[in-house]
Amino acid sequence: MKFFIDTAEIDEIRALAPSGLVDGVTTNPSLIAKSGRDFKEVVAEICAVVEGPVSAEVTAIESKAMIKEGRALAKIADNVCIKLPLTFDGLVACRALVDDGHQTNVTLCFSANQALLAAKAGATYISPFIGRLDDMGIDGMELIEEIRTIYDNYMFETQILAASIRTVNHVKLSALAGADVATIPPATLKTLTKHPLTDKGLEAFLKDWEKTGQSIL
Protein backbone atom coordinates (compact mmCIF):
# COMPACT_ATOMS: atom_id res chain seq x y z
CA MET A 1 0.00 0.00 0.00
CA LYS A 2 1.18 3.51 -0.84
CA PHE A 3 0.91 6.31 1.73
CA PHE A 4 -0.05 9.82 0.68
CA ILE A 5 0.06 12.64 3.22
CA ASP A 6 -3.13 14.66 3.55
CA THR A 7 -1.87 18.16 4.28
CA ALA A 8 -0.82 21.45 2.72
CA GLU A 9 1.70 22.26 5.45
CA ILE A 10 5.09 22.13 3.77
CA ASP A 11 7.01 21.82 7.07
CA GLU A 12 5.07 18.66 7.95
CA ILE A 13 5.82 17.17 4.54
CA ARG A 14 9.53 18.02 4.80
CA ALA A 15 9.70 16.41 8.24
CA LEU A 16 8.10 13.17 7.02
CA ALA A 17 9.82 12.88 3.62
CA PRO A 18 13.16 11.46 4.91
CA SER A 19 11.31 8.45 6.35
CA GLY A 20 10.67 7.08 2.86
CA LEU A 21 7.01 6.63 3.80
CA VAL A 22 5.66 9.51 1.72
CA ASP A 23 4.59 8.27 -1.72
CA GLY A 24 2.54 11.38 -2.54
CA VAL A 25 0.47 14.22 -1.11
CA THR A 26 -3.19 15.18 -1.30
CA THR A 27 -4.39 18.74 -0.84
CA ASN A 28 -7.76 20.43 -1.22
CA PRO A 29 -9.06 24.02 -1.09
CA SER A 30 -9.82 23.71 2.63
CA LEU A 31 -6.27 22.58 3.47
CA ILE A 32 -4.77 25.33 1.33
CA ALA A 33 -7.00 27.91 3.03
CA LYS A 34 -5.77 26.76 6.45
CA SER A 35 -2.18 27.31 5.33
CA GLY A 36 -2.97 30.96 4.54
CA ARG A 37 -0.63 30.91 1.55
CA ASP A 38 -0.87 31.33 -2.22
CA PHE A 39 -2.41 28.21 -3.78
CA LYS A 40 -0.05 27.73 -6.72
CA GLU A 41 2.98 28.57 -4.59
CA VAL A 42 2.08 25.90 -2.05
CA VAL A 43 1.49 23.25 -4.74
CA ALA A 44 4.80 24.06 -6.45
CA GLU A 45 6.70 23.85 -3.17
CA ILE A 46 5.16 20.49 -2.27
CA CYS A 47 5.89 19.11 -5.75
CA ALA A 48 9.55 20.04 -5.28
CA VAL A 49 9.76 18.07 -2.02
CA VAL A 50 7.79 14.97 -3.04
CA GLU A 51 8.58 12.88 -6.11
CA GLY A 52 5.18 11.17 -6.19
CA PRO A 53 1.81 12.61 -7.23
CA VAL A 54 0.57 15.78 -5.55
CA SER A 55 -3.20 16.20 -5.82
CA ALA A 56 -4.27 19.78 -6.53
CA GLU A 57 -8.00 20.41 -6.79
CA VAL A 58 -9.94 22.51 -9.29
CA THR A 59 -12.50 24.94 -7.92
CA ALA A 60 -14.76 25.27 -10.98
CA ILE A 61 -17.99 23.27 -11.19
CA GLU A 62 -18.57 23.29 -14.97
CA SER A 63 -16.59 20.87 -17.13
CA LYS A 64 -15.01 23.36 -19.54
CA ALA A 65 -13.82 25.53 -16.68
CA MET A 66 -12.54 22.45 -14.82
CA ILE A 67 -10.53 21.40 -17.86
CA LYS A 68 -9.05 24.88 -18.18
CA GLU A 69 -8.13 24.97 -14.49
CA GLY A 70 -6.78 21.42 -14.63
CA ARG A 71 -4.47 22.26 -17.53
CA ALA A 72 -3.24 25.31 -15.63
CA LEU A 73 -2.53 23.21 -12.54
CA ALA A 74 -0.66 20.62 -14.61
CA LYS A 75 1.78 23.33 -15.70
CA ILE A 76 2.93 23.87 -12.11
CA ALA A 77 4.96 20.63 -12.03
CA ASP A 78 5.15 17.26 -13.77
CA ASN A 79 3.91 15.41 -10.68
CA VAL A 80 0.68 17.38 -10.23
CA CYS A 81 -2.36 15.10 -10.10
CA ILE A 82 -5.52 17.02 -10.96
CA LYS A 83 -8.25 16.54 -8.38
CA LEU A 84 -11.85 16.66 -9.62
CA PRO A 85 -15.24 16.26 -7.91
CA LEU A 86 -17.33 13.19 -8.63
CA THR A 87 -20.02 14.96 -10.63
CA PHE A 88 -21.00 14.46 -14.25
CA ASP A 89 -19.03 17.57 -15.19
CA GLY A 90 -16.12 16.27 -13.16
CA LEU A 91 -16.14 13.01 -15.10
CA VAL A 92 -16.25 14.85 -18.43
CA ALA A 93 -13.25 16.89 -17.30
CA CYS A 94 -11.52 13.74 -16.08
CA ARG A 95 -11.74 12.08 -19.49
CA ALA A 96 -10.45 15.20 -21.26
CA LEU A 97 -7.51 15.63 -18.88
CA VAL A 98 -6.61 11.93 -18.98
CA ASP A 99 -6.65 12.12 -22.77
CA ASP A 100 -4.20 15.03 -22.41
CA GLY A 101 -1.89 12.66 -20.53
CA HIS A 102 -2.49 14.04 -17.02
CA GLN A 103 -3.01 12.13 -13.77
CA THR A 104 -6.42 12.62 -12.16
CA ASN A 105 -7.87 12.03 -8.71
CA VAL A 106 -11.69 11.90 -8.64
CA THR A 107 -12.73 12.84 -5.15
CA LEU A 108 -15.80 12.86 -2.88
CA CYS A 109 -16.80 9.32 -3.77
CA PHE A 110 -19.50 7.81 -1.56
CA SER A 111 -20.86 4.89 -3.60
CA ALA A 112 -19.62 1.95 -5.65
CA ASN A 113 -21.61 3.20 -8.66
CA GLN A 114 -19.74 6.50 -8.52
CA ALA A 115 -16.45 4.63 -8.40
CA LEU A 116 -17.46 2.56 -11.43
CA LEU A 117 -18.16 5.72 -13.40
CA ALA A 118 -14.81 7.25 -12.40
CA ALA A 119 -12.95 4.17 -13.59
CA LYS A 120 -14.77 4.25 -16.93
CA ALA A 121 -13.82 7.94 -17.24
CA GLY A 122 -10.18 6.87 -16.90
CA ALA A 123 -9.42 8.28 -13.45
CA THR A 124 -5.94 7.55 -12.14
CA TYR A 125 -7.26 7.51 -8.56
CA ILE A 126 -10.70 7.28 -6.96
CA SER A 127 -11.07 8.74 -3.46
CA PRO A 128 -13.81 7.10 -1.36
CA PHE A 129 -14.34 9.01 1.89
CA ILE A 130 -14.35 6.46 4.72
CA GLY A 131 -14.65 8.75 7.73
CA ARG A 132 -17.53 10.80 6.39
CA LEU A 133 -19.54 7.64 5.73
CA ASP A 134 -18.77 6.39 9.24
CA ASP A 135 -20.07 9.72 10.57
CA MET A 136 -23.43 8.88 8.97
CA GLY A 137 -23.54 5.44 10.54
CA ILE A 138 -22.54 3.74 7.26
CA ASP A 139 -19.59 1.34 7.17
CA GLY A 140 -17.05 3.20 5.04
CA MET A 141 -14.85 0.12 4.77
CA GLU A 142 -17.63 -1.77 3.03
CA LEU A 143 -17.38 0.77 0.20
CA ILE A 144 -13.64 0.04 -0.21
CA GLU A 145 -14.42 -3.68 -0.45
CA GLU A 146 -17.18 -3.12 -3.03
CA ILE A 147 -14.96 -0.94 -5.21
CA ARG A 148 -12.12 -3.46 -5.00
CA THR A 149 -14.44 -6.24 -6.20
CA ILE A 150 -15.81 -4.18 -9.10
CA TYR A 151 -12.39 -3.02 -10.24
CA ASP A 152 -10.99 -6.55 -10.08
CA ASN A 153 -14.00 -7.93 -11.96
CA TYR A 154 -13.29 -5.68 -14.94
CA MET A 155 -9.53 -5.18 -14.60
CA PHE A 156 -9.87 -1.41 -14.18
CA GLU A 157 -6.52 0.29 -13.62
CA THR A 158 -7.93 3.10 -11.47
CA GLN A 159 -6.29 2.97 -8.04
CA ILE A 160 -8.38 3.06 -4.86
CA LEU A 161 -7.22 5.93 -2.67
CA ALA A 162 -8.79 5.54 0.78
CA ALA A 163 -9.54 9.07 2.03
CA SER A 164 -11.08 10.79 5.05
CA ILE A 165 -9.04 8.48 7.26
CA ARG A 166 -9.53 9.31 10.94
CA THR A 167 -7.89 6.45 12.82
CA VAL A 168 -5.04 3.95 12.62
CA ASN A 169 -7.70 1.25 12.36
CA HIS A 170 -8.93 2.85 9.14
CA VAL A 171 -5.43 2.39 7.71
CA LYS A 172 -5.27 -1.29 8.68
CA LEU A 173 -8.74 -2.09 7.41
CA SER A 174 -8.11 -0.24 4.14
CA ALA A 175 -5.00 -2.33 3.57
CA LEU A 176 -6.90 -5.53 4.35
CA ALA A 177 -9.70 -4.50 1.96
CA GLY A 178 -7.20 -4.00 -0.86
CA ALA A 179 -6.99 -0.21 -1.17
CA ASP A 180 -4.00 0.79 -3.30
CA VAL A 181 -3.34 4.01 -1.40
CA ALA A 182 -4.27 5.59 1.92
CA THR A 183 -4.07 9.35 2.30
CA ILE A 184 -3.32 10.03 5.93
CA PRO A 185 -2.99 13.13 8.14
CA PRO A 186 0.61 13.49 9.42
CA ALA A 187 -0.37 12.88 13.04
CA THR A 188 -2.14 9.63 12.15
CA LEU A 189 0.86 8.41 10.15
CA LYS A 190 3.14 8.96 13.15
CA THR A 191 0.65 7.18 15.42
CA LEU A 192 0.97 4.04 13.28
CA THR A 193 4.36 3.44 14.88
CA LYS A 194 2.94 3.43 18.40
CA HIS A 195 2.33 0.33 20.51
CA PRO A 196 2.61 0.07 24.31
CA LEU A 197 4.64 -3.16 24.09
CA THR A 198 7.13 -1.46 21.77
CA ASP A 199 7.56 1.36 24.30
CA LYS A 200 7.87 -1.11 27.16
CA GLY A 201 10.43 -3.24 25.33
CA LEU A 202 12.53 -0.24 24.35
CA GLU A 203 12.53 1.02 27.92
CA ALA A 204 13.79 -2.34 29.16
CA PHE A 205 16.52 -2.52 26.51
CA LEU A 206 17.78 0.95 27.36
CA LYS A 207 17.91 0.17 31.09
CA ASP A 208 19.89 -3.02 30.46
CA TRP A 209 22.28 -1.20 28.14
CA GLU A 210 22.84 1.56 30.69
CA LYS A 211 23.91 -1.07 33.22
CA THR A 212 26.76 -2.19 30.94
CA GLY A 213 28.38 1.25 31.08
CA GLN A 214 29.30 0.92 27.41
CA SER A 215 28.95 3.27 24.46
CA ILE A 216 28.61 2.42 20.77
CA LEU A 217 30.49 5.59 19.77
Any catalytic annotation for residue 64?
Answer: no
**Given the residues 64, 68, 83, 207, the one annotated as active site:** 83
Instruction: Please state whether 101 falls in left (phi above 0), alpha (psi between -120 and 50) or beta.
Output: left
CB of 179 within 8 A of CB of 23? Answer: no
> Could you list the active site residues?
83
